[in-house]
Amino acid sequence: MADLQGKTIVVTGAGGGIGLAAVERFVASGANVVATDLAGTGVDTAGEMGDTVVSQVADVTSRADWESTRELAIGTFGRIDGLVNNAGIEGAITPLVEYPEEMLDRVLAINVKGVFLGMQIIAPLIIEGGGGAIVNVSSVAGLSGASNLSAYSASKHAVIGLTKSAALEFAPQAVRCNAICPSPIDTRMMRSLEDAMKSDDVDAATLQALIASNIPLGRYGAPSEVADLMTFLLSDDARFLSGAAIPIDGAMKAR
């Protein structure tokens, strides 16, 4: 199991399926965690995981909220070694020509600007501490197009561009930056996609089986499996790994 002993990691979207699994895994690996999410999510649950976790309600699109997260991390643990930009939304599941403009703006604000602001505000602290690692959550939809998910796919492609640029910029200061590209993972987000895609002929359960059958390993991933990859990338075991966009997808992108 990769070791995060003594490292302080900031995690966004920490009340969601993958985020909560990440907080659990980081704590089990010895990290201090600053867990943030919107109000009404499971972020309070993350905050109750023990003395090594603090939680905060914060919107990733808000510079003031990011500054407050930075202060909380430094005030509580004295340093920041890692950042996981995990918060994201799927947006509308609609043909491009009908896609609501305000939803396009929202998807780009959360999935792209949120990641940008996180790196802009947190990376200087990681540099000050002597280096560390950033993990940005993209998607298999960041590696190829996705019908009826144009804004989401565009946003996740952008996450990879941001990640590669940051990896180049931060390399001289020993900050590694990688993107991960999950296939369908068993969380609320997939329930929302299944709901939107089901029809009178195909119910949500049948649809789920169909989507799973398109993944060579034959199933959705578990949030804990994504958390394991994040842990490795944040750990010193990944010390020569930076600027990558890594599929975690049961071989979906091997085709």
Ligand X SMILES: NC(=O)c1ccc[n+]([C@@H]2O[C@H](COP(=O)([O-])OP(=O)(O)OC[C@H]3O[C@@H](n4cnc5c(N)ncnc54)[C@H](O)[C@@H]3O)[C@@H](O)[C@H]2O)c1
153 is a contact residue toward ligand X (CB under 6 A): no
15 is a contact residue toward ligand X (CB under 6 A): yes
- Amino acid identity, residue 143? L
Count the site residues for ligand X by CB under 6 A.
Answer: 27
The candidate with the shortest Cα–Cα distance to 24, out of 226, 253, 171, is 226
Q: Which 191-250 positions form the footprint of ligand X (CB under 6 A)?
A: none
Please tell me the distance from the alpha carbon of residue 27 to that of residue 144, in angstroms, as a whole number. 33
Please tell me the distance from the alpha carbon of residue 114 to that of residue 60, in angstroms, as a whole number. 5
137 is a contact residue toward ligand X (CB under 6 A): yes
* Both structure tokens of 35: 């867990």
Please tell me the distance from the alpha carbon of residue 150 to that of residue 165, in angstroms, as a whole number. 23
**Residue of 23, 35, 37, 70 interacting with ligand X (CB under 6 A):** 37
Q: Which of 152, 170, 220, 232 is catalytic?
A: 152
59 is a contact residue toward ligand X (CB under 6 A): yes
17 is a contact residue toward ligand X (CB under 6 A): yes
Please tell me the distance from the alpha carbon of residue 234 to that of residue 136, in angstroms, as a whole number. 11
54 is a contact residue toward ligand X (CB under 6 A): no
134 is a contact residue toward ligand X (CB under 6 A): no
- Amino acid identity, residue 180? I
Give the footprint of ligand X on this chain (CB under 6 A).
Answer: 12-13, 15-19, 37-38, 41, 59-61, 86-89, 110, 137, 139, 182, 184-185, 187-190
Q: List active site positions.
A: 152
